[in-house]
Amino acid sequence: MFSLRKLDISFCYFSSLNEETFSGLENLLHLTLNNNVLNYNTKQLPRGSFKALKSLKQLSIQHNNLESRNKIFPDETIVDLILLEVLELDVGCEDHHRQLFGKGFSSLYNLRTLNFSICGDVYLNNDTFKHTPYLTNVYISKCSILRINGLKAFSQLKRLRVLELDVDISEERMDESWTVGVIEASNHKVKDTNIVHMLQALSTFPWGKINDELFSTPIHELYFTKNRNVVVFPKKRSIRAPPSLRSLAFSNCGFRQILLNLTYVTTLKIDGNQLGNYLANNTYMTTKTSRLEFISLSNNSIYNLYSQIFNNQPYLKVIDLSYNFLKNVNFHMKHMIHLEMLILAKNSIFYLDDNSIANIDQILKENNNLKINLSGNPLHCGCSLLPYLEWMMHVRKRFVNFDQLRCILENGSMSMSNSFGDIILHLQTDCMNYSHLIVGVSFALFVFISLLIAALIYRHRWKLRYLFYTAKLRYASQNNMDNRGQYVYDAFISYSDEIRTFVTRDCIDNLERDGHFKLCIHHRDFLPGAAITDNITQAIQSSRKTICIITRSFIESYYCMFEYNMARMESIHRKKDKSLIFLVFYEQLQPEELPLVLYEIIQKKTYIEYPNDVHGNLIFWEKIKDAINA
């Protein structure tokens, strides 16, 4: 235990800790205590509970106070974790005057990351993070922040770099000033901010005020996501984004219009909005010297794009227009000499018209790296569309997974995957329906061969399984025999657990102690930790004989029948010993109760019935000994 580095004891119903709980774990680095019943109080978490964890760097103790509305971790308990770097816990308190992170947290000089989620009522004020000034990353998610006392809740965090807020705030508790206050309160040093759900109560996005507060900060990434109730974005050309900003996202915000001035941003995601009507006649960018490299407009109900939408964006490398309703490529592309990927997947493109082809041809002449993704579109294939199909065939290397594209044939059927190029070749030949016949015959042949292979596999399934496990066993160990000779055991006993007493008492007494045979019994001799099938195969191949003690429970057991079938296959492959397997009927069974594979062997080979009487038992055990020696 001294060398243990990581310990997860979640879902263990721990209700309390003490000074001895973690004794001997001085080198533990990561401790997870989630989903227990450890209420945050000094009775269940007394002072000194973590004293032994002198090296701990990460502690997760969440989802322990599900029924309690007050979730304030006792600071006198955590004071001993002076090397702690990451802390994940529950937070919440109805009394907004109480300190969420008490004075004891001030001793955690190495604490850099704080994560609290699925919490109750959280009241943030100017002193909330007073005792945790060294934090660089704060993640607050799935919380109900009902009241904010003061707009500088994060002002104590001078080193804050990453701030993620995923909270639900009611309209009466939330206004534009609060949102801007959260941004401003980050002390102008946050480089990565993700605001999720937080703006749902607003009807107008406060983009101007947010930029005013962040303009002189080193903010590098800014994400506003899943704020579905925000539908109005201010259309002001003069709102400039911070010059340090490189990545910006407005995903799933419900915007119907947007206008951005982004000179230095390289990644922009405005997917999952409702910009279809707006972008048909407008652009999203006013910048004349944009450095944008990635733009995502996917899932915006776009049916047509403004022809100059990507003008003044010469550095674009990826344009994502997937999951829309586009039918053509009618926007200007000639200037995009750096474009590497145009994603048009999952749109409504039936075919590329002459204007679209001419538009794409213009950029292909200047750009040798461009790839186009048309997957998931309802492409049509027919004689009337042969010119566009021939063009696609000519530039097929420019399309992602060209052969896997599927199209709708003239008879209304959908082509098979991996056949797009072949269909075009057939159409080029004579534009007749011979291709339909070929596809049908090919499919029928495939089905026939598949059924034939399936039938052969089913018929020889046990042989194939035997070969598989044998090969697996030989690969793992080339020599599994000991000094006794060719075999480790004289016999492997296959039985169901219902007659374990018979095996452990009678078989061992009569065959091992009296007969001096070495038996392999699964509950005693199987290797712990190995796969059951591997143990079974090893046991059969390491034994001269396999004795199957047949009962009704044996027949009903999957692993018992597996042992029987593996022994049957071994007897076929062990040419020198055809009597490897023999059966002992411990119960009286009717022929109709026996599986076919078992019934076949008793028709060909003799078997033994257990008499269960004193005189008969003597003869019975002598026959078993003779069979093993045979």
C-alpha torsion 535→540→545→548, nearest 10: 70
Per-domain residue ranges for the chain? 1-160, 462-629
**pLDDT, the chain, mean:** 83
Distance separating alpha carbons of residues 211 and 215, to the nearest angstrom? 5
Q: Encode pLDDT of 406-456 as tens digits.
A: 898 888 888 887 778 888 888 777 675 555 566 677 888 888 888 888 777
Count CB neighbours of 114 within 10 A.
Answer: 22
Rounded to 5°, angle at Cα 395 from 393 and 400: 90
Q: Encode pLDDT of 29-57 as tens digits.
A: 999 999 999 888 899 999 999 999 999 99
The pLDDT of residue 314 is above 80 = yes
pLDDT at position 473: 55
Q: Is the pLDDT higher at 488 or at 150?
A: 488
State the residue for tokens 């002390």: 187
Give the model's confidence band at 484: pLDDT under 50 very low, under 70 low, under 90 confident, else very high: very low
Which residues are within 8 A (CB) of 302 and not within 5 positions of it... i.e. 6 or more apart?
Answer: 275, 276, 279, 280, 321, 324, 325, 326
Say which range, 179-188, 198-207, 447-456, has the weakest mean pLDDT.
179-188
The pLDDT of residue 515 is above 60 = yes
Q: Encode pLDDT of 3-22 as tens digits.
A: 899 999 999 888 899 999 99
Ramachandran region of residue 163, left (φ > 0), alpha (ψ -120 to 50) or beta?
A: beta
The pLDDT of residue 467 is above 80 = no
Most confident of 117-121, 150-154, 372-376, 610-614: 372-376
Give the model's confidence band at 278: pLDDT under 50 very low, under 70 low, under 90 confident, else very high: very high
Find how far residue 208's CA is from the centre of its chain: 38
pLDDT at position 184: 44
Distance separating alpha carbons of residues 455 and 452, to the nearest angstrom? 5
Give the model's confidence band at 479: pLDDT under 50 very low, under 70 low, under 90 confident, else very high: very low
Q: Which fold has domain 462-629?
A: Rossmann fold (3.40.50)
Are the beta carbons of 388 and 352 closer than 8 angstroms? yes
CA nearest neighbour of 337 among 369, 379, 301, 373: 369
Taking residues 566-577, report their average pLDDT.
78
Say which range, 30-44, 309-323, 407-421, 501-515, has the weakest mean pLDDT.
407-421
The pLDDT of residue 352 is above 80 = yes
State the residue for tokens 């145009």: 342
Q: Encode pLDDT of 255-265 as tens digits.
A: 899 999 998 99
- DSSP E strand boundaries for 101-161: 113-117, 121-125, 137-149
Check residue 493 and report its DSSP letter: E
pLDDT at position 457: 74
Rg (CA), the chain: 36
Phi, psi of 75 (to 5 degrees): -70, -25
Q: CATH for 1-160?
A: 3.80.10.10
Ramachandran region of residue 76, left (φ > 0), alpha (ψ -120 to 50) or beta?
A: alpha
pLDDT at position 192: 47
Distances (CA, A) of 77 to 38, 68, 361: 13, 19, 69
Quick check: do 1-160 and 462-629 share a fold? no
Q: Encode pLDDT of 126-160 as tens digits.
A: 788 888 989 999 888 776 655 555 556 776 788 88
Share of the chain above pLDDT 90, in %: 39
The pLDDT of residue 514 is above 70 = yes
